[in-house]
């Protein structure tokens, strides 16, 4: 049993300063031993409360004898209750200073919560889990993630797979079923849609009530620790989607926490997020900064998470985000649209995280052209180390939707991204957002007949793997689902009984295996030294060819993509060296459902200048396909 959890004067000062980044160690409900008595200490910040009582299962929800002490004039309340132990339910009964009916609120720092639709917080100790991921943590400290392969499988835990009677799989079941599957498929990371407590299933966790409470839908916090632990033991990193932008309006949550705006802005124009029907966090309030940065620390510190993908960063950066033309919004003090408080929060967040946890991933989902998102704050950046490449994703999906006969008129869609590919440390996402709300599944976005749909998806995924940047694919994409994501049902696993869907999954598995074993595909993702065009200009035939370079000059791959169903023989490209090449991957292989147009023999270079190079080779170009060539040993001189 831990000793007293009473907040100190210095910690209180840091909290109100906006620099108490481990506030979860004192706020909330903590089992403790105070003067020899075992019980639970409760601490909460409610600056506009007149009185707060703790009600729960231990006092039949009557709190008259359990009034909290206001220990600071700034609104921190605390109370130690003897003999309250793990598993007890509780809420704060808050009497607003301005009068009105008392409010029953869940604990903003609760570590565990009742399963929806119930909403009480639960006293729970996060201590005592015996982690088995020491080797993973050592490996993570040694390696630079920018120079390592990152192939992310994005997952919504509630709909990846269900039990036979339609219930959710538990964290412990997922720790075996999902982790084994991801390892078999060759992914390096799992990214989870938010697992914080949230009342409405169909918000997918993006509208939360319990930021420090892993959702009880799938089990306990220690069950989730087991899930993360097993991921690490199997060599798989874990990234959480995280939303510090806005929170839901449910009555037991953060909104008007003590009868007045506490976590949201005082000004309703800034507090109300009409796009998502939520409230925006007040990012100019130091206590909110302490709360949010502490939450990031919490997942890295106590749950060993390897990265956070920060949702909707653009909504933090702009004062007019989500506002319709003519809708009122407030400019910053200089008259601009930049949210200066949001900028300060993001930089504070990233500086604090990387000082304490230097080897994690902080990934921005930022949908505009804001500069230097993934650059250090000392050079004017936001301080993330990765950014989703939304431009690449939008351009490529628009391109792939078009009939191949028209693609020659939109060739810039597949080449434009290389003009800015190294301006940020990019992740190339094909995410859940692109397969919901009647956008159709990846496979069903593809034009053509049955065969062509699969071939189009294969060439897209092959091109994604060859393009500089880390990779992300939402679950179900590897199965070739015809239906878009059904968030209340499991994936269409029955599709695997059909040949083309089974072969699509095999294709994704072997594509991942190739990616993780070829350094040229990842070592120099974020520098122009890792990429070189052979020919970006063949728009009339919708073919591109380029080189990916590893650190070793001998280590390079040639990647060719044909975005039409036309087959070509004797297609010539320039090559960088006088060496033979071997085709090591071809999305048109019959084992993947292709037509089998391969380059099966060694490709000998000719002293024929082509593409401004002294040597060239002739290729078979398969239909709607990506293929990859690797150099063999240098030819001997005669």
Active site residues: 311, 365
Count Cα atoms within 13 angstroms, Cβ side, for 335.
Answer: 0
**At 598, is the secondary structure helix, strand, or coil?**
coil
Concatenating the DSSP letter of every residue in 396-417 gives: HHHHHHS-GGGGGGGTHHHHGG
Report how far residue 587's alpha carbon sits from residue 603's, in angstroms, rounded to the nearest whole number: 18
Q: What is the token pair recorded at 110?
A: 């609760």
Using the 8-state DSSP alphabet, how is residue 610 labeled?
Answer: B
**Token match 């916090």: residue?**
221
Burial (0-12, 13-18, 19+ Cβ within 10 Å), 333: exposed
Q: Is 304 helix (H, G, I), strand (E, B) or coil?
A: coil
| Neighbour-count burial for 56-65, b at 16+ CB within 10 Å, e otherwise | bebbeeebee
CA dihedral 121, 125, 126, 128 (to 10 degrees): -160
Give phi and psi for 141, each to the nearest 5: -65, -30
Distance CA 466, CA 133 (A): 31
What distance in Å separates the CA atoms of residue 292 and residue 247, rounded to the nearest whole number?
12
- First-to-last alpha carbon distance for the chain, in angstroms, is 79
Query: To 10 degrees, the CA torsion angle through 306, 312, 314, 319?
Result: -130
Strands 210-214 and 28-34: unpaired
Distance CA 340, CA 417 (A): 29
- Angle among Cα 108, 4, 119 to the nearest 5 degrees reads 25
Joined tokens for residue 432: 């859940």
Alpha-carbon span 153 to 238, nearest angstrom: 10
**165: burial class by Cβ within 10 Å (0-12, 13-18, 19+)?**
exposed
For helices 221-233 and 134-142, the axis angle rounded to 10 degrees is 60
Helical segments of 186-305, H only: 221-233, 268-271, 286-303
Three state DSSP letters for 110-158: CCCECCCCCCCEECCCCCCCCCCCHHHHHHHHHCCHHHCCCEEEEECHH
User: What does the alpha-carbon distance between residue 420 and residue 392 come to, in Å, rounded to a whole number?
Assistant: 10
């Amino acid at each position: 049993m831990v000793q007293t959890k009473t907040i100190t004067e210095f910690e209180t000062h840091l909290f109100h300063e906006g620099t108490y980044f481990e506030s979860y160690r004192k706020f909330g409900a903590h089992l403790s031993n105070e003067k020899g008595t075992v019980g639970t200490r409760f601490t909460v910040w409610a600056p506009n409360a007149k009185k707060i009582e703790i009600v729960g299962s231990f006092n039949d929800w009557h709190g008259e004898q359990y009034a909290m002490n206001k220990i600071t004039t700034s609104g921190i309340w605390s109370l130690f209750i003897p003999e309250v132990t793990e598993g007890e339910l509780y809420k704060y009964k808050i009497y607003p200073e301005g009068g009105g009916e008392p409010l029953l609120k869940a604990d903003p720092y609760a570590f565990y919560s009742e399963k929806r639709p119930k909403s009480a917080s639960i006293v729970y100790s996060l201590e005592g889990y015996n982690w088995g991921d020491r080797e993973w943590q050592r490996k993570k400290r040694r390696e630079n993630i920018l120079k390592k392969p990152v192939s992310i499988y994005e997952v919504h835990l509630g709909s990846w797979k269900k039990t036979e009677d339609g219930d959710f799989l538990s964290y412990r079941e997922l720790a075996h079923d999902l982790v084994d599957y991801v390892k078999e498929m060759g992914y390096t990371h799992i990214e989870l849609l938010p697992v914080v407590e949230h009342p409405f299933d169909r918000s997918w966790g993006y509208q939360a009530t319990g930021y420090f409470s892993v959702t009880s839908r799938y089990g306990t916090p220690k069950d989730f620790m087991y899930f993360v632990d097993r991921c690490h033991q199997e060599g798989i990193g874990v990234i959480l989607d995280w939303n510090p932008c806005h929170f839901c309006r449910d009555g037991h949550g953060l909104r008007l926490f003590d009868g007045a705006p506490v976590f949201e802005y005082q000004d309703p124009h800034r507090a109300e997020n009409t796009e998502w029907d939520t409230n925006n966090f007040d990012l100019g309030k130091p206590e909110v900064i302490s709360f949010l940065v502490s939450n990031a620390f919490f997942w890295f510190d106590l749950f060993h998470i390897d990265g956070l993908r920060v949702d909707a960063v653009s909504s933090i950066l702009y004062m007019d985000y989500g506002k319709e033309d003519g809708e009122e919004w407030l400019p910053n003090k200089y008259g601009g649209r930049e949210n200066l408080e949001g900028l300060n929060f993001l930089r504070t967040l990233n500086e604090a995280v990387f000082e304490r946890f230097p080897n994690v991933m902080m990934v921005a989902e930022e949908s505009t052209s804001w500069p230097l998102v993934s650059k250090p704050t000392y050079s004017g950046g936001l301080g993330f180390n990765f950014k989703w490449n939304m431009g690449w994703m939008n351009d490529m999906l628009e391109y792939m939707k078009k009939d191949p006969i028209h693609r020659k008129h939109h060739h810039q869609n597949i080449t434009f991204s290389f003009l800015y590919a190294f301006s940020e440390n990019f992740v190339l996402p094909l995410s859940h957002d692109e397969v919901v709300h009647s956008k159709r599944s990846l496979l069903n976005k593809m034009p053509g007949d049955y065969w062509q749909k699969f071939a189009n998806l294969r060439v897209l995924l092959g091109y994604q793997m060859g393009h500089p940047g880390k990779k992300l694919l939402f679950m179900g994409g590897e199965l070739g689902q015809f239906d878009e994501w059904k968030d209340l049902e499991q994936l269409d696993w029955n599709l695997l009984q059909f040949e083309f869907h089974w072969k699509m999954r095999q294709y994704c598995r072997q594509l991942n295996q190739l990616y993780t074993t070829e350094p040229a595909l990842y070592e120099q993702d974020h520098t122009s030294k890792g990429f070189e065009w052979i020919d970006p200009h063949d728009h009339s035939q919708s073919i591109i060819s380029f080189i990916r370079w590893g650190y070793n000059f001998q280590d390079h791959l040639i990647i060719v993509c044909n975005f039409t169903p036309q087959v070509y023989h004797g297609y010539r490209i320039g090559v960088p060296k006088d060496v033979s090449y071997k085709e090591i991957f071809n999305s048109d292989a019959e084992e993947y459902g292709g037509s089998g147009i391969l380059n099966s023999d060694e490709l000998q270079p000719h002293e024929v200048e082509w593409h401004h190079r002294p040597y060239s080779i002739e290729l078979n170009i398969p239909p709607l396909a990506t293929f990859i060539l690797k150099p063999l040993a240098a030819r001997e001189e005669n």
